[in-house]
Amino acid sequence: MDGKPGLFSLLAKRMDWLGQRQKVLAQNIANADTPDFKPHDLKPQEFRRLIERQAMPMLRPEATRAGHIQSSSLGDSHRSAEQKERYETAPSGNAVVIEEQLVKVAQTQNDFNAITNLYRKQVAMMKMALRGRAQ
């Protein structure tokens, strides 16, 4: 456990994933004129999987020999993958469609705002509960 109550931990993980996705989408837009560039996106985050991980203690693999286990700082949920379905590809081989990327950026921003509001409301509820106990 990372020291945060369950819901706060889930919200923080979601915010982290959304931040990473925003970076990937920004790279796609920045490379909109790069020949042969293929857009990338993160694997969708599965809420059920997050809940299962939260409920069960994490099993940590242990390397018995060097090179057996290789770790990633971002984990599987943040791994960038080439976008599978492409709307169109330019004659230069570039498959970035600015409009499509901007829609994804807007969706990511809306999701981030929703998570921020949930986080804020959760903090307000905890403050209210603590004030009620103090009286």
- In tens digits, the chain (135 residues) has pLDDT values of 455 667 888 888 899 999 999 999 999 999 999 999 999 999 888 766 666 665 555 556 677 777 665 544 444 455 555 565 656 677 777 889 999 999 999 999 999 999 999 999 989 998 998 887 655
Q: Count CB neighbours of 78 within 10 A.
A: 19
Q: By the 8 A CB rule, do 40 and 81 touch? A: yes
What is the distance between the alpha carbons of residues 112 and 2, in angstroms, rounded to a whole number? Answer: 21
Residue keyed to tokens 């694997």: 43
pTM of structure: 0.65
Structure token pair of residue 45 = 């985050």
The sign one gets for the Cα dihedral 28, 29, 35, 36 is positive
Coil, helix or strand at residue 42: strand
